[in-house]
Structure 1
Amino acid sequence: MKKLALDDEILLKIDKPARYIGNEVNMIKKDPKGKCRVAFAFPDVYEIGMSHLGIQILYDMFNKRDDVYCERVYSPWPDLHQIMKEQRIPLFGLESQTPVKDMNFLGITIQYEMCYTNILQILDLSQIPMRAADRSEADPIVIGGGPCTYNPEPLADFFDIFYIGEGETVYDDLFDLYQDMKGSSYSRFEFLKEAAKIPGLYVPSLYEVSYHEDGTIASFQPKYEGVPKTIKRQVVEDLSAAVYPEKPLVPFIKITQDRVVLEIQRGCIRGCRFCQAGMVYRPLRERGIEMLKDKAYQMLQNTGHEEISLSSLSSSDYTHLEELLNFLIENFKSKGVNISLPSLRIDAFSLDVMSKVQDIKKSSLTFAPEAGSQRMRDVINKGLTEEDIINGAGLAFDGGWQKVKLYFMLGLPTETEDDMRAIAQLAEKIAERYYEIPKDQRNGKCQITVSTSFFVPKPFTPFQWFPMCTKDEFLSRAKVVNEAVKEQLNRKSIRYNWHEADVTVIEGILARGDRRLCEVLLKVYESGSIFDAWSEYFKFDHWMNAFLSAGIDPDFYTTRIRGEDEIFPWDFIDTGVTKEFLLREWHTSQREKITPNCRQKCSGCGAMTYKGGVCYENQN
């Protein structure tokens, strides 16, 4: 295979050439001869993609196989994108500089809807036909994985296979199938039909969709016998035994998350009704404490990083959190290693834990009440009272913190103006709690940053039936909060910012859309849009023009109410959590009632069918 590298003249013209030269610390190099060649792409800039744990895990896992060579690919920044287009330079893997088009598989992780145009960028720059139907026998098999595959339909035309579930499970089966079939005269179609028999693999070209006159789905069926009607999400039962990298890649330039990431558990017991991850990653599975201690030591030793982040959806719920923190502090404090604790619940945070972490490095604390009023928190099943929030913030302040970040959502189901104003009022109460501390014991002025995102009803959540707000409605709600913040006594201690409303609208369309959006995506990309996740590159008018050109009403996907019997584009996927449970939770939310978390009481969501998690253990 021909190898390719950017010459010095090109590297001198572009920003941060280290994004494209590879050779990072712990990079894997192999003799490619006889190997199944895999390019693993992250459809965003290098600094974002290199921070992603999932790619690090699968990169390590794939390359443990003697018969597979996995390389990495990231979206070229617009400066290099233009040069590659003009000079017809094909996109290449960082490890060997081999063009992606010459590899056997192209895997693309799909983390965020606003990266969809970058998926087309990767295909286009790789010189691979963007539509799967146009690919030849010589083109790579294009696979999509990650959280957005829980509704893969807006991307159905562009992928040969979608991997539904956790990546550590059936990729080996797929590579084994490829090795078994590559020596014979099989066709691409025959390989895809065989791949569709592997649990968790969805081949969109093997299915057909019909629609009612009103645009809703009438049926979704396999075209061929032997192709499964339902795709079952694949789940790692024993995380302690699962592959986890001991030598993560270390870049030569600063990236977004420049630290060791230690995933302590997967799944969540809380059942927040807006949270897709909390539903689709059920049941909760913890990694063993001894495994985590070993991996922490190995990764810090093999990378030289000065920070370790404990990753999970709700770190406070990890059974052995205190023991793990004590281990990290005792073993690495003298080496100046900082410990990052994202996803902490304010009601479960202890002053003792905070004080130990603070001794190493002070930083702001982040909490997510999600809603300002108690009524609204009950609707979304947050399971937090105002007393919990104020007391938790008080513990933080007593422990020496004065910077707090608070995350909320606007546009939630049943939201009223009082609920919006309650966001500012809650921030004020937290500020008041800080100023109760004697002046000589404070660490300066209290700094509270309030951030609101706009709510998107995601698939496989109880709110998937709910209509979204329009762009103008979102902005009017942000205005209410902004004015309410300015009315507070401690307003100088409170800073407020909000997400872009137009970006949220497009995210919502792509999150709940169907195959008809493929044409829109193609038109948006052809109009020059890439890096839509970046404010400076997002062009709302490109999207609106594409909808108009494709004859599609975007409001169909956002502002209309879904009927309870409607077939959703993602209904063919079995995540373990049943649609009946989600509908029951939707009705419970409208009654403003909370549902106990999984450790308090099993609510029969369906995830108990997957062994190894909290629900299964409670069942027994």
Structure 2
Amino acid sequence: MAIWTPEQIETVLDRILLKVQKPGRYTGGELNQIVKAWEQVKTKIALIFPDIYDLGLPNLGLTILYDEINRREDALAERAYAPWTDMENQMRSLGMPLYSLESKHPLQEFDILAFTLPYESLYTNVLNILDLAGLPVLAEERDERHPLVIAGGHAAFNPEPMSPFIDAFAIGEGEEIIHDIIEVYRAWKQSGQSRETLWLSLAGIPGMYVPRLYEVEYHPDGTVKRIAPKSKEAPLPIVKRIVAQLPPPVTRFIVPSIDIVHNRIPIEIMRGCTRGCRFCHAGMVTRPVRERPVEEILQAIETALEATGYEEVGLLSLASSDYTHIQELVEAVTQQFGDQKITVSLPSLRIESFSVELMKGLKSLKPSGGFTLAPEAASERMRRVINKFIPHEQILETAREIFAHGWTTIKLYFMIGHPEETLEDVQAIIDLCHAVLREGRRICGGRAKVHAGVSTFIPKPHTPFQWVSADTMEQIQAKQALLQQGLRGQGFKLNWVDPKVTLHEAWLSRGDRRIGQVILRAWQLGAKFDAWQEHFNFDLWLQAFAECHLDPAFYSHRKRDLDEVLPWSHISIAVRPSYLKQEYQNSLTGTLRDDCRGHCYACGILPTFNDLRAKTPDEAWKCPPVRRKTPIREKATA
């Protein structure tokens, strides 16, 4: 691919943008974007979200990195997203490379390309972006002439499927590690040494995984025999990075010139979760819990409102109602911003930590729309299995309060396919939805509605369920058919996930390094935008597996032995494998764990990061003050 100048790209854009949907995706120039003098900055980084602009712009992880990097005088960060198919066709027909929005420089002119991988269905888009940039998709085919390609995000906690394409993975939180990467890269570039020297230097950064420095051996049955470093400089395990205390939140958000999926100010009020739901990947990999002070959140909202003109604020976390000062925060937001008529949303509310007082405060901040709750399972037996025990009557009482305070729609999120689940447990979802609708009709008549969102469980890495198998296509279809039959008629709305999509995610999230060849072949056959229904091609993926002589069921439907070396065993989330095994065994007996804010169960987080915690104010970490192991306590049943 020929080298294009920014001026050439600008000229061509003037000709082709009228031929594509939403030209604003490709122009840049938004309010609050940062454009630095290209020639005056030493290290240039392209932050890439491997899906369209509409989804990528509001991604908080890349927003944080954009702010962190651009605060440095010696570095710049610019953005790139996957072009939609109409724009890609125009670019390929002209031989035009993918470029950054800020300066229109081709991606191949950057020093570092940094991808975020929040979910697995973006993998083929990464390959497509590298190809559109004029770069070899395989890491082994790139050399000193090419940018360093790195990746991070939640999907990177099992980096093996994407390891043939990525030079280095940042495991864990990015606020600090990105600066370490910049320093190492700059020193290497000035030294003039070989690319291999860069790999070794990157491996010396805590939390960095460089795949080419490790070799994987397999047993004859296809399971992993061992994952071993090739060099003494390569650590084992690779322990995730965290920040000891959440830094002040971003406030100068880029304001898009077109409509996107979230037009709001996202303020992270808390990171991590202490509930210990056994299916939840995010809850395990983001430990420990760290909270922001109320005053810092209020100041961030005020500054962001002035800087953006947005009218909605999202107070984000995995479990917003578990934030220690949630009532105080809602009251303060109401008092300080109530006359500005802004909308404040609190996603991820938990039934257990919900209160009437909180509901009243939310009503004044968000006067319309539905109310979302996530029981995840409807039978009390299944709630014990997954460690999300909520008495049946508590759910109905919460629903009554919601309807009584003026909401007419309740959205209930469930998951089918949990370990040990039966059709009776699925029927319980139907029964609970009907019970909630009856409560709504008793209070607000025919206006009451229940929307059920039902996803399908996937055994994720680094969770207590990482050893179990996923449901087969036939099992998922039978459960969904039961739901479709039972949740029809006035007042109900049901959303579910295509079983093929579920199996695709299971293959990629649980895969080993050999899955990389399947991803490559699928992309060569035409796979991209796998997260989009109109583009996802299940049969194409089956063809890729067949051509690579791999069995997809080996990854999705095979139960793992508790002593098996898992493809992600060399990646440490600082939660002990013995703790995860114990939690899996607890699931088999329906034994519950309480919220660990007051009772330490020795998961491993505290001793791993003890030095960081010692430097952090006590109020920031929501963990017990003393590391100790206490007996498992059963919650009271209904």
TM-score w.r.t. length of structure 2? 0.94
Equivalent residues in 2 for 1:151-550, closer than 5 Å: 151-239=158-246, 242-360=247-365, 361-437=367-443, 442=444, 444-486=446-488, 491-550=489-548
Equivalent residues in 2 for 1:98-137, closer than 5 Å: 98-137=105-144
In structure 2, C-alpha distance between the alignment counterparts of 1:517 and 1:138, rounded to whole Å: 28
In structure 2, C-alpha distance between the alignment counterparts of 1:482 and 1:569, rounded to whole Å: 36
Structure 2 counterpart SS, 1:225: coil
Root mean square deviation of aligned Cα: 1.4
Partner residue in 2 for 1:581: 579
Structure 2 counterpart SS, 1:168: helix
Partner residue in 1 for 2:5: 2
1:581 Cα offset (Å): 0.4
1:300 Cα offset (Å): 1.1
1:587 Cα offset (Å): 0.4
- 1:508-557 alpha-carbon deviations (Å, 9 max, x no partner): 01001011011111111111111110111101111011001111100000
1:244 Cα offset (Å): 2.6
Partner residue in 1 for 2:43: 36
1:435 Cα offset (Å): 2.7
C-alpha contact (below 8 Å) 1:402/1:443 kept by paired residues: no
1:243 Cα offset (Å): 4.7
- 1:65-86 alpha-carbon deviations (Å, 9 max, x no partner): 1010100010000111122222
In structure 2, C-alpha distance between the alignment counterparts of 1:266 and 1:217, rounded to whole Å: 33
Structure 2 counterpart SS, 1:183: helix
In structure 2, C-alpha distance between the alignment counterparts of 1:77 and 1:30, rounded to whole Å: 27
1:174 Cα offset (Å): 1.5
Structure 2 residue runs without a partner (length 5+):
629-638
In structure 2, C-alpha distance between the alignment counterparts of 1:250 and 1:502, rounded to whole Å: 36
User: Match for 1:368: what amino acid?
Assistant: A
1:53 Cα offset (Å): 0.8
Partner residue in 1 for 2:58: 51
C-alpha contact (below 8 Å) 1:409/1:453 kept by paired residues: yes
C-alpha contact (below 8 Å) 1:259/1:305 kept by paired residues: yes
Structure 2 counterpart SS, 1:492: coil
User: Match for 1:362: what amino acid?
Assistant: S
1:346 Cα offset (Å): 1.8
Is 1:607 the equivalent of 2:613? no
- In the comparison of the two structures, how many residue pairs are matched? 610
In structure 2, C-alpha distance between the alignment counterparts of 1:267 and 1:359, rounded to whole Å: 27
Equivalent residues in 2 for 1:542-561, closer than 5 Å: 542-561=540-559
In structure 1, C-alpha distance between the alignment counterparts of 2:377 and 2:417, rounded to whole Å: 10
Structure 2 counterpart SS, 1:89: coil
1:394 Cα offset (Å): 1.2
User: Match for 1:213: what amino acid?
Assistant: P
C-alpha contact (below 8 Å) 1:400/1:443 kept by paired residues: no
User: Match for 2:242: what amino acid?
Assistant: V
C-alpha contact (below 8 Å) 2:378/2:429 kept by paired residues: yes
In structure 2, C-alpha distance between the alignment counterparts of 1:536 and 1:181, rounded to whole Å: 44
1:7 Cα offset (Å): 2.3
1:451 Cα offset (Å): 1.4
Partner residue in 2 for 1:26: 32
TM-score w.r.t. length of structure 1? 0.96
Structure 1 counterpart SS, 2:594: coil
Partner residue in 2 for 1:597: 595
Task: Quote the sequence identity (%).
Answer: 41
User: Match for 2:623: what amino acid?
Assistant: C
- 1:456-512 alpha-carbon deviations (Å, 9 max, x no partner): 0000100000001122221111112222335xxxx5222222111101101001001
C-alpha contact (below 8 Å) 2:67/2:250 kept by paired residues: yes
- 1:225-255 alpha-carbon deviations (Å, 9 max, x no partner): 221121010011111xx15322111101111
User: Match for 2:588: what amino acid?
Assistant: Q
Is 1:16 the equivalent of 2:22? yes
1:618 Cα offset (Å): 4.5
Structure 1 counterpart SS, 2:174: coil
- 1:297-332 alpha-carbon deviations (Å, 9 max, x no partner): 111111000000010000011011112112222222
1:444 Cα offset (Å): 5.0
Structure 1 counterpart SS, 2:38: coil
Structure 1 counterpart SS, 2:187: helix
1:355 Cα offset (Å): 2.6
